[in-house]
Amino acid sequence: MKLNVNSEIALTHLLTRKKQTIIASLGVTVGIGIFIFMISMVVGFNRYSDEALFKTESHIRIYQDDTLSRPLIPKTKLGNTTIIINPKIANLSNTLLNPKKIIADLKKNENIVTVTPQVSVSLFYNNGISQINGVASGVNIIDANEMFNIQSTMLAGDIRNLLSTSNGILIGVGIAEKLNIKLYDNINITSSIGVVKMMKVEGIFKTSNSNIDLTKSYINLAISQQLMKESSSYLTDILVNIKDPNKAPEFSKQLKNLTIYKVEDWQAANEQSMSNKKTRQVMLGSISLAILLVAAFGIYNIINMTIKEKLNDIAILKATGFSGKDVINIFLKESLIMGIIGTSFGLLLASGLIKFISGIYIGGDREYFPIGFESSIFIIGGILGILITLGAGYIPAIGAAKIDPIEIFRK
Amino acid sequence: MRKKIILQTKQISKYFYQPVKFKALDDISFEVFDSEFITMIGKSGSGKSTLLYILSTMDTDYEGELIIGGEKITGQKSDNLAAIRNKNIGFVFQFHYLLPEFSCLKNVMIPALKLGKLSPQEIEEQAYQKLTLLGIKDQALKPASKLSGGQQQRVAIARALINQPKIIMCDEPTGNLDSKNTSIVLETFHQLSQELGQTIIAVTHDNDFAEASNRIIEMADGKLINTI
């Protein structure tokens, strides 16, 4: 493509003032680079904390919520006396009715990745006189592993041993340490309704949450039903994982229409960490936006200075037939070129920073700094960089378009 | 033979409001004919430059009417005026006013590139032609800021000619030039009006320069006082 005359003038301006051009572009480079880097850090960390959460929680949990007894007489008209009774928890059992039907229905939905039934049992772990209370999840271990990736958290043993050993148990590392129990040792458990069972430790796991390591265990579904003295149709929860965990709230709304039971998405179950997450996003987002703004002022400054120095040239151009639009066009092109150069190097800078920091060892179960290349952040950062520089160039360019050549010539 | 009118003013008046209200131009009506070489003279403050800026279409804040080439200019939008200037009017200023970062050749080419009627190759050829006409072809590729004042003024004249405008307007074209360069510019203007049929309107202080023109318009206190 042949350069038109406006582009040619813009390019000449930039090339004859290389130093300023480079400095202004560098401002954009640093702004965009840090912006993308910070946002990537937020996204990486959020993803990491979500992943940690999903090792013990499903995206959606369906369970029988406690219902309160209703007053004997429903609320009557104003003025009438209403009998007040102390509300009591009314449900006799927290089992889900006809869970097989619910599971079969859920499995038909294409957005659902895994569905697994669960029985939660509150119990005590005993070894000699030491005792810890905790919660055992009675699961189908293969399904549960698909959902929580339990195998990846195992320190010792193998989850598949639960299949061959009906009274096998996988315990958290905290329980093992506190009760001084090793792999293949026996452990006594007492359920909340007093059923005692002798279990064999087939695995020890370690999650990123020490509280969970100190309370949680996995057992076979059948054992958990026995611990509650219930039949094989007894289920307390149905756990559901969907394709996009961020869509869990909408999806749980859909499911609420399909079942009478309580449907809870992970966001609702973890309000605390959700609000932490938001705070983090807002904080780092505003810091990086501020950096971007500073870069924009750099561009604004340079374009403004160019215009102040080139009043004569602008007057000449206008006298020889360039309109106000052409003048705006010339200076917009200048800031666009600086924006494109600055932004492209900014993308490179961000990649470099991300590459560098993702190699930093931080220990824990993640081992390396949780940050990754997010193409969507790079795209947003790139677009933002160019838009901001265009805006920063546009304001002084309007001023340049309004310059009255006669005033310049009269001086 | 009746001569064709190329530029006409009808009762043009202009006020300045800073520092006090002041009538800079008072009821100016005159006509400029095709291929004429006109000079406007008068003491400083007589309003001749102010009038020239109105004729140039750059100043739109006046009363009265301006007609160029049969087209009414008064009241047109600034983008239109820019296009009219680009096509029909060439400028030469007192202080040469070239774009310093560009070569002389580019300076000459820019108005034609803006007009966009010819290909860049053709424009370059024409620009060389104009520079040859003014005897500075050998300076074509130097940056404009490296030339002497007289040379820069000639480049500015070449730039004014590039779109073959009907009218060339000059504000003190020889104000900064020595006598040798002045006579070169004068010669060129005569050549332009006689051989190429271009109209030249020049504001000047230089009486010798004025006397060499076809017609002199003398101004004083914002009025036309004498047309020779």
A99-158 pLDDT, tens digit per residue, is 888 888 888 888 888 888 999 999 999 988 888 999 999 999 988 888 888 888 888 888
Instruction: For residue A302, give how far its alpha carbon lies from the nearest alpha carbon of chain B (Å).
Output: 17
Does position B185 have pLDDT exceeding 90, yes or no?
A: no
**What is the residue range of B110's domain?**
5-227
Domain total of chain A: 2
Q: Are residues A332 and A300 in the same domain?
A: yes
Does position B190 have pLDDT exceeding 50, yes or no?
A: yes
Does position B207 have pLDDT exceeding 50, yes or no?
A: yes
Q: Are residues A241 and A285 in the same domain?
A: no
Average pLDDT, chain B: 82
Give the Cα separation of A308 and B44 in Å (integer): 29
Mark yes or no for CB contact B59/A9 under 8 Å. no
pLDDT of residue A124: 93
Which of A411, A407, A313, A308 has its CA nearest to residue B94?
Answer: A411
Q: Are residues A195 and A296 in the same domain?
A: no
pLDDT of residue A379: 93
A71-75, A210-214, B81-85, B207-211 — which one is most confidently predicted on average? A210-214
Mark yes or no for CB contact B82/A322 under 8 Å. yes
Instruction: Give chain B's length.
Output: 228
A3-17, A222-236, B74-88, B108-122 — which one is most confidently predicted on average? A222-236
Tokens at A30, concatenated: 């640093």
pLDDT of residue A136: 93
Kindly indicate the confidence band of residue A358, based on its pLDDT and cuts at 50, 70 and 90: confident
List the single best residue of B57, B110, B172 to mutate versus A (max A Cβ within 10 A).
B110
ipTM of the modeled complex: 0.84
Mark yes or no for CB contact B115/A321 under 8 Å. yes
Kindly indicate the confidence band of residue A82, based on its pLDDT and cuts at 50, 70 and 90: low
Rounded to the nearest 10 degrees, the angle between the axes of helix B120-133 and helix B104-115 is 130
pLDDT of residue A187: 92
Domain-ending residue, one of A239, A269, A299: A269
Cβ neighbours of residue A197 under 8 Å, at least 6 residues apart? A167, A188, A189, A191, A223, A226, A227
Q: Are residues A258 and A401 in the same domain?
A: no
Q: Are residues A102 and A233 in the same domain?
A: yes
pLDDT of residue B228: 62
Give the Cα separation of B206 and B48 in Å (integer): 13
Mark yes or no for CB contact A319/B85 under 8 Å. yes
Domain total of chain B: 1
Least confident range from A66-70, A107-111, B54-58: namely: A66-70
Does position A1 have pLDDT exceeding 50, yes or no?
A: no
Instruction: For residue B24, give how far its alpha carbon lies from the nearest alpha carbon of chain A (Å).
Output: 14
Mean pLDDT of B137-160: 82
Instruction: For residue B188, give how far its alpha carbon lies from the nearest alpha carbon of chain A (Å).
Output: 20
Kindly indicate the confidence band of residue A249, based on its pLDDT and cuts at 50, 70 and 90: confident
Q: Are residues A314 and A265 in the same domain?
A: no
Give the Cα separation of A313 and B101 in Å (integer): 10
pLDDT of residue B96: 58
Domain-ending residue, one of A269, A293, A317: A269
pLDDT of residue A84: 65
Which of B147, B177, B151, B155 has its CA nearest to residue B111?
Answer: B155
pLDDT of residue A341: 92
Q: Are residues A265 and A284 in the same domain?
A: no
Task: Report yes or no: A12 at the B interface, CB cutoff 8 Å.
Answer: yes
Q: Are residues A293 and A404 in the same domain?
A: yes
Q: Are residues A318 and A351 in the same domain?
A: yes
Does position A388 have pLDDT exceeding 90, yes or no?
A: no
Does position A10 have pLDDT exceeding 60, yes or no?
A: yes
Tell me the Cα Rg of chain A: 32
Q: Please tell me the number of Cα atoms within 13 Å of A288 on its side-chain side.
A: 24
Kindly indicate the confidence band of residue B1, based on its pLDDT and cuts at 50, 70 and 90: very low
Mean pLDDT of A283-299: 83
Q: Are residues A165 and A201 in the same domain?
A: yes
Task: Quote the percentage of chain A above a pLDDT of 90.
Answer: 20
Does position A6 have pLDDT exceeding 80, yes or no?
A: yes
Does position A32 have pLDDT exceeding 70, yes or no?
A: yes
Give the Cα separation of B63 and B57 in Å (integer): 13
Kindly indicate the confidence band of residue A348, based on its pLDDT and cuts at 50, 70 and 90: very high
A178-222 pLDDT, tens digit each: 999 989 999 999 998 889 999 999 999 988 788 889 999 999 999
pLDDT of residue B16: 83
Q: Are residues A103 and A221 in the same domain?
A: yes
**What is the residue range of A244's domain?**
60-269
A contact residues 321-380, partner B, Cβ 8 Å cutoff: 321-326
Mark yes or no for CB contact A405/B58 under 8 Å. yes
Q: Identify whether B19 is preceded by a cis peptide bond (ω within 30 of 0).
A: yes
Cβ neighbours of residue B88 under 8 Å, at least 6 residues apart? B68, B69, B165, B166, B167
Kindly indicate the confidence band of residue A71, based on its pLDDT and cuts at 50, 70 and 90: low
Task: Quote the percentage of chain A above a pLDDT of 70.
Answer: 95
Instruction: For residue A402, give how far its alpha carbon lies from the nearest alpha carbon of chain B (Å).
Output: 11
B87 to chain A: closest CA residue: A321
- Between A74 and A141, whose confidence is greater? A141
pLDDT of residue A190: 93
Q: Which residues of B touch A (CB under 8 A)?
A: 49, 53, 56, 58-59, 78-79, 82-87, 91, 93, 97-102, 106, 110-111, 113-116, 120, 159, 171
Q: Are B29 and B227 in contact (CB under 8 A)?
A: no
Instruction: For residue A332, give how far its alpha carbon lies from the nearest alpha carbon of chain B (Å).
Output: 17
Domain-ending residue, one of A249, A269, A289: A269
Q: Are residues A132 and A245 in the same domain?
A: yes
Tokens at A130, concatenated: 């030491």
Size of interface A-B (CB pairs under 8 A): 69
Kindly indicate the confidence band of residue B85, based on its pLDDT and cuts at 50, 70 and 90: confident
pLDDT of residue A75: 64
Does position A230 have pLDDT exceeding 50, yes or no?
A: yes
Mark yes or no for CB contact A323/B87 under 8 Å. no
Give the Cα separation of B149 and B182 in Å (integer): 11
Cβ neighbours of residue A380 under 8 Å, at least 6 residues apart? A39
Tokens at B11, concatenated: 């009762």
Q: Are A301 and A17 in contact (CB under 8 A)?
A: no
CA atoms A89, A91, A95, A96: torsion sign? negative
Q: Are B136 and B151 in contact (CB under 8 A)?
A: yes
